[in-house]
Amino acid sequence: MAVNIVTNYQLIGKIKTSRYFRTNLGIVATVEKNGSRSYNDKDAFSKFYNTTYNTIIYAQGNIGNIKLYTDHFIKDPVMAVYYGDNFEEFILEWDELKFKEKGMDSYLGFILKETESKYEEKLKNDELRKLEDKPKGNADAVILNPGAVSYADVQAYLEKKRQERYKG
Alpha helices in the chain (DSSP H): 9-15, 44-53, 96-102, 104-131, 141-144, 151-167
Please classify residue 101 by burial: count the beta carbons closer than 10 Å to its beta carbon, then call 0-12 exposed, 13-18 middle and 19+ buried.
exposed
Query: What pLDDT is stored for residue 72 in this prediction?
Result: 94
**Reported confidence tier of residue 133, pLDDT bands at 50, 70, 90:** low
CA dihedral 139, 141, 143, 145 (to 10 degrees): -170
Query: What pLDDT is stored for residue 1 in this prediction?
Result: 78
14-30 in b/e form (b: 16+ CB < 10 A) is bbeebeebeeeebeebe
Query: What pLDDT is stored for residue 155 in this prediction?
Result: 86
- What is the value of pTM for the model shown? 0.74
- Reference 150, options 162, 163, 136, 161; nearest CA is 136
**Reported confidence tier of residue 154, pLDDT bands at 50, 70, 90:** confident
Residue 59 confidence (pLDDT) above 80 = yes
Query: What pLDDT is stored for residue 134 in this prediction?
Result: 67
- Reference 60, options 97, 1, 102, 17; nearest CA is 17
**Reported confidence tier of residue 49, pLDDT bands at 50, 70, 90:** very high
Comparing 61 with 25, the larger pLDDT belongs to: 61
CB–CB of 1/64 below 8 Å? no
Residue ranges per structural domain of the chain: 3-131, 134-168
For the residues 151-157, what does the mean pLDDT come to? Answer: 86
Residue 132 confidence (pLDDT) above 80 = no
pLDDT tens string 66-89: 999 999 999 999 999 999 989 999
Share above pLDDT 90 across residues of the chain, in percent, rounded to a whole number: 56
Query: What pLDDT is stored for residue 30 in this prediction?
Result: 78
CB–CB of 39/30 below 8 Å? yes
Residue 60 confidence (pLDDT) above 90 = yes
**Reported confidence tier of residue 152, pLDDT bands at 50, 70, 90:** confident
